[in-house]
Amino acid sequence: MLVYVDNYAVTEDIINNARSYGFETVDYACCEVIGRHGGLVPCMQVSPVCSDRNKFVFWDPYRPTESAILIAAKHVLDGGREYVSPINIRQLANS
């Protein structure tokens, strides 16, 4: 069976409801390199890193933080059709 995951909808939910998920920052990268939002280029070994990664949605301009990934995985595992269809991954595993 093929399962479709709408990553855009998952990411949009996390950004739009960031406070309810415990995030404080959605518009700035945790790993700051250069750029207006600290995320013009990917993180490097010498880049300054935020003190609490759990408060940021994005690690760098391309990747979410581990906290955001865990929330996204929960949406895929147990989410409704707004995130994954025709069934979620838990339903698929149990079928």
Domain borders along the chain are: 4-94
Which segments within the chain are labelled E, that is strand?
4-5, 84-85
Q: What is the pLDDT of residues 48-89, one digit of tens each?
A: 888 999 999 999 888 899 999 999 999 999 999 999 999 999
Rounded-to-integer distance, Cα 75 and Cα 4, Å = 12
Note every long-range contact of 13-17, with CB atoms under 8 Å and residues 24 or more positions apart, other chains counting.
Answer: 13/75, 13/83, 14/57, 14/64, 14/68, 14/71, 14/72, 15/57
pTM of the model: 0.86
- Say if CB 6 and CB 14 are below 8 A apart: no
Looking at residue 37, its pLDDT comes to 66
pLDDT category at 94 given cuts 50, 70, 90 is very high
pLDDT digits 0-9 by tens, 21-44: 999 999 988 987 766 666 667 787
